[in-house]
Amino acid sequence: MNADLIVQRENSQVLEFKIAKATKAQLQEINSELALGFSAEELSIIQAYFIKEKRNPTDIELQTISQSWSEHCCHKTFKGKIQLNGKEISSLFKTYLAKATKEINAPWCFSVFEDNAGIVKFDKGYGIAAKVETHNHPSAVEPFGGAATGVGGVIRDILGVWADPIACTDVLGFGPLDYDYNKLPNGVKHPKYIYRGVTAGISAYGNNMGIPTVNGAIYFDDSYTGNVVVYCGCIGLLPLNKYVRSGKVGDYVVLSGGKTGRDGIHGVTFASAELTEKSEEISRPAVQIADPIEEEKVKRAVVGIRDAGLGSGITDIGGGGLSSAVGETAERFGSGVAVDLEKVHLKHEGLSPWEIYLSESQERMLMTIPPENLEQVMAIFEKEDVHAVAIGRLIPERRLRLSYKGELVSDIDMAFLFSTCEITKTATLEQAKLIEPDFPEPQNLTQTLLDLLAAPNIASKEAVIRTYDHEVKGNTLLKPLQGDYAGPNDAAVLKPVDVSNKGLVISCGMNPNYGKIDAYWMAASAIDEAIRNNLAVGGRRIAILDNFTWGNPEKSERLGSLVRACEACYDVATNFRTPFISGKDSLYNESPLGPVTPTLLITAIGIIPDINKTVSVDLKAAGNLIYIVGDTYSELGGSEYYKLKGFLGASVPKLNASKARKSYYNLTKAMGEGIVKSCHDLSEGGLAVAAAEMAFASGLGLELDLQKVPAKNVSRDDFMLFSESNSRFLIEVAPEDQKLFEELMGKYSKPIGKVTKEQKLIIKGLSGKAVIDASIDKLRYSWKKTLNPKEDIQ
């Protein structure tokens, strides 16, 4: 950089930059040299501010502003303006997501979109906090560390609302495990390496901290080869009367947990840029190092301080390090803050003040503590063997004042630091040019079903699930894998409060393949699937979380599909009355192999009023009746069946949400009567795969008749079997409950067969002839063989 632009302060580690008279090119030079990531417009705003302040900015000030204004921290895309077809959307977040929640206005929402995590009421004075994070970029560079710190980070989000973490979730997207090595561009790691590293990282962190990982999914897609998708979720429990957010001027700002080092500097800038061949070299330091045992101790201290009512505010230290946490804490309490960076406990010497302030070293929390409680708080930290120190105080002047060794290194106006995000982006809608395939119906549909069960997106993920401890804490009432045959339950259920008989239901939904056809229906389907999975085990009163993984939003068609997905979020959530309580976006997922396929994860949190009414996936008794809920349509675009045949197609599954809502309402009533013996939602692979899973999870057989399945314009057996139409379930009911069940369901269910003692799945086709005839052992073997080691396939 041009040395004339820099002023080295005397006897100081701080640099100043002469920006008042700098040209645009010189500003750009500072921008790229310090890796600040500002746009030209932002640079001139900063220039004007410091001209007004009549001084040069320091490096730490520029870095602080950069962190604060980065996509990762302030969500420019979701909160900024978007031009689409001459219409202006003022904020995706406010126009769609928050608006849905506001309109639904559920009385059981305790705190939404305000904190590190959303909170809903549970029972006996307890609340449930939930948050899902993305950790895609770090996992692409260093899979184990990236995923482990993703888990650690989201657990701290839960601690950041005073909640005790009780469960983790993980939804992962990888490239095909058999991807051709020769086709991998430089800098892109092989999917198998990433798969192994990411799953090991998740298991290491969750298991070591003793938080059960109870729900998740693994999805394979070509576009994830260059852009791995890692969603880490955490659910927490808190007594609602212990939730405090009342920091005031004079309170101490207390930093606790791990030491601060040079790991994880510029993580947020990294997360807001595309991945390139150089990411490994440049961004490796941006991936942090995980220490779950430290976080376990921090957790105990946080819960102890909460229960004693000693704190006035708390937040985690994540993206942006102290720079985000300190500033946001002061902003939230309407004050300013003065921090002495010399007090920060360091891993090693030689960090300059800006590095201390930006470091994303893990396992750290920030609290505000009223002066009279400081001593007791320190005693709790000491008991748990956690380092803690008061690094500053909230001050009345609305300034961010940082000092280091007696020198003032930052003094910025808080209002300036938190102004911004008024950026307009342009979106366009592109209609994908897709055609519906035309191919003859396979002769042997039993073989097709076996092939589908073995398809990576459907196949058993048991080998991975069993490396996650899903039983620790002893509250897992419905496990991810059911019984001796390890069948796939639709959701996990916890019994989180000893004195309550209510269950907590955790499920998810994600349909990235549909997004290749239409982002609107992808989003609608993901919400429907998450809700279906929740209802299938008996859940109700559902809150949802949104997590977007998208490509570069500067590219207008990527932004266009994001707008479409948000529209669906509003439409479907308001219809189902399922408020969004928290969300997170990860944009700029692009690699030398191209953009990520737009991927919306919906996580659903429901409750079961009486845990006795929990329903598992496995068939219960021969002679019971099988009903189907929902209509089947000839809409196989994006389905696993088309994928197996090498097609994408154009007829994406749609959603008739108001009809679905009525059938879900009735189903919930039947669940409440305790007459649903088993239930499974129909998703990837459709009716045939769902039926096979219910059978081989149990050791019982099924006889079904496609002629009895309510359908619209479906003339082929393969389409009936494998269509992925939304809003459908298979339900098992005992003969003695038939009348009551049919009364409760009304027109929304139809009997299509029965449970048999003979261990076979037999499905009669539209012509009356059996089109599927397979032993359940063979079906189960096919389902297990793809991703599990030989010795685990029984």
Partner 1 sequence: MNTEDIKVCVLRVGGTNCDAETQRAFTELGAKAEVIQVSDMIKKRNLLDYNVLVFPGGFSYGDYVRSGVIFARHLSANLGKEIRQFVDEGRPLLGICNGFQILVEYGLLPGFSGISEFPEATLTTNEPAGFKCKWVYLKQENRGKCAFTSAIPAGKTIQLPIAHGEGRLLFPKEKEQALLKKIIDQDMLVFRYCTKDGETAEGKYPDNPNGSFHDIAGICNPEGNIFGLMPHPERAMYWWQQPTWTRENQMLKYGDGKLIFQSIINKLTKTNH
Helices (H), 10-91: 24-33, 40-53, 59-69, 71-74, 76-79
Q: Between residue 376 and residue 435, which ones bind partner 1 under the rule CB under 8 A? A: 383-385
From CA 564, how far away is CA 676, in angstroms rounded? Answer: 36
Q: Which stretch binds partner 1 (CB under 8 A): 128-136, 181-189, 261-269, 291-299?
A: 291-299
- Count CA within 13 A, CB hemisphere, residue 45: 17
Nearest C-alpha neighbor of 149 from the set 404, 363, 370, 408: 363
Does 207 sit near partner 1 (CB under 8 A)?
yes
Q: Does 466 bind partner 1 (CB under 8 A)?
A: yes
DSSP code of residue 3: G
Residue 347 tokens, joined: 């891993």
Q: Is 332 exposed, middle or buried (0-12, 13-18, 19+ CB in 10 A)?
A: middle
Choose one: 66-74, 263-271, 322-330, 785-793; the region binding partner 1 (CB under 8 A): 785-793
CA separation for the pair 164, 142 (Å, rounded): 28
Residues 6+ apart with CB under 8 A from 107: none
What is the smallest separation between the CB atom of 790 and partner 1, expressed in angstroms?
Answer: 10
By beta-carbon proximity to partner 1, the closer residue of 98 and 298 is 298
469 belongs to the binding site for partner 1 (CB under 8 A)? yes
Minimum separation from the CB atom of position 474 to partner 1 (A): 4
Radius of gyration of the chain (CA): 27
Question: Per-residue DSSP letters for 490-528?
Answer: SSEEE---TT---EEEEEEE--HHHHTT-HHHHHHHHHH
Catalytic residue list contains 137 = no
Per DSSP, the three-state class of 335 is coil
Residue 314 CB, shortest distance to partner 1, in Å, is 21
When the beta carbons of 192 and 555 are compared against partner 1, the nearer one is: 192
Q: Which is nearer to partner 1, 363 or 631 (CB)?
A: 363
Dihedral of CA atoms 559, 563, 569, 571 in degrees, nearest 10, equals: -170
Which of 94, 102, 479, 654 lies at the binding interface for partner 1 (CB under 8 A)? 479
CA distance 390 to 369: 9
The DSSP call for residue 397 is S
Tell me the residue type at 656: N
81 lies in the site for partner 1, by CB under 8 A: no
State in angstroms the smallest separation of the CB of 283 from partner 1: 27
- Nearest in space to 155 (alpha carbons), one of 143, 145, 167, 144: 167
Given 41, 375, 441, 471, the residue binding partner 1 (CB under 8 A): 471
Smallest separation, CB 376 to partner 1 (Å): 16
Q: Of the ranges 130-138, 333-341, 473-481, 643-651, which one interacts with partner 1 (CB under 8 A)?
A: 473-481
Residues 744-763 that bind partner 1 (CB under 8 A): none
619, 697 contact by CB (below 8 A): yes
Under the criterion CB under 8 A, does residue 574 sit at the interface with partner 1?
Answer: no
In whole angstroms, give the CA distance from residue 543 to residue 734: 31
Chosen residue from 498, 658, 713, 739 binding partner 1 by CB under 8 A: 498
Between 493 and 522, CB nearer to partner 1? 493
Site size for partner 1 (CB under 8 A): 45
Helix, strand counts (H, E) of the chain: 28, 37
Range in contact with partner 1 (rule: CB under 8 A) among 428-436, 449-457, 471-479, 544-552? 471-479
Residue (222 or 385) nearer to partner 1, CB: 385
Query: Considering the rule CB under 8 A, would residue 192 count as an interface residue with partner 1?
Result: no
What amino acid is encoded at 510 in this protein? M
**Angstrom distance (rounded) from CA 780 to CA 356:** 54
Q: Is 436 in the site for partner 1 (CB under 8 A)?
A: no
Give min distance, CB of 305 to partner 1, in A.
Answer: 15
Q: Which of 135, 137, 266, 470 is catalytic?
A: 135
In this complex, which beta carbon is closest to partner 1, that of residue 422 or of residue 484? 484
- Cα 691 to Cα 626: distance, rounded to the nearest angstrom: 10
Which of residues 204 and 449 has its CB atom nearest to partner 1 in the complex?
A: 204
Burial class of residue 245, CB neighbours in 10 A (0-12, 13-18, 19+): middle
Contact region for partner 1 (CB under 8 A) — 228-236, 365-373, 558-566, 784-792? 784-792
Q: Does 616 bind partner 1 (CB under 8 A)?
A: yes
The string of DSSP codes covering 131-198 is EEEE-HHHHHHSHHHHHHHHHHHHHHHHHTTTPEEEEEEEEEEE--TT--GGGPPTT---HHHHHHHH
- Which one, 478 or 544, has the nearer CB to partner 1? 478
- CB of 216 or CB of 579, closer to partner 1: 216
Candidate list 125, 483, 592, 674; residue touching partner 1; CB under 8 A: 483
CA 528/CA 522 separation, integer angstroms? 10
Q: Give, as ranges, the residues between 295 and 354 that touch partner 1 (CB under 8 A).
A: 296-297
**Which residue in 242, 495, 564, 584 binds partner 1 (CB under 8 A)?**
495
Q: How far is the CB of 293 from partner 1 (least distance, A)?
A: 4
State the minimum distance, in angstroms, from the CB of residue 306 to partner 1: 16
Kindly state the smallest distance separating residue 471's Cβ from partner 1, in Å.
5
Which residue, 235 or 655, is less far from partner 1 as judged by CB?
Answer: 235
Least separation, in Å, of the C-beta of 715 and partner 1? 38
Nearer to partner 1, 435 or 499 (CB): 499
Beta-bridge partners for 547: 584, 601
Q: Looking at 72, 75, 266, 680, which residue is catalytic? A: 72
135 belongs to the catalytic site: yes
Stretch that binds partner 1, among 319-327, 472-480, 556-564, 634-642 (CB under 8 A): 472-480
Site string for partner 1, 655-694 (x = CB under 8 A): -----------------------x----------------
Residue 528 touching partner 1 (CB under 8 A): no
Pick 715 or 794: Cβ nearer partner 1: 794
Cβ at position 211, least distance to partner 1 in Å:
8
Decide the pairing of beta strands 711-712 and 594-595.
Answer: unpaired
Amino acid sitting at position 603: T
Binding residue for partner 1 (CB under 8 A) from 45, 611, 622, 644? 611
CB-CB contact of 233 with 154 (8 Å): yes
Mark out the alpha helices in 284-321 (DSSP H runs): 292-307
Among the listed ranges 63-71, 76-84, 285-293, 400-408, the one in contact with partner 1 (CB under 8 A) is 285-293
Q: Which residue has the tokens 């063989």?
A: 785
At its nearest, how many Å lie between partner 1 and the CB of residue 139? 20
Phi and psi based region of residue 406 (left: phi greater than 0; alpha: psi -120 to 50; beta: remaining): left
Burial class (CB in 10 A: 0-12, 13-18, 19+), 285: middle
585 near partner 1 (CB under 8 A): no
The residues binding partner 1 (CB under 8 A) are 203, 207-210, 291-294, 296-297, 383-385, 465-479, 482-484, 495, 498, 611, 614-616, 618, 620, 678, 789, 791-792, 794
| Catalytic site positions | 72, 135
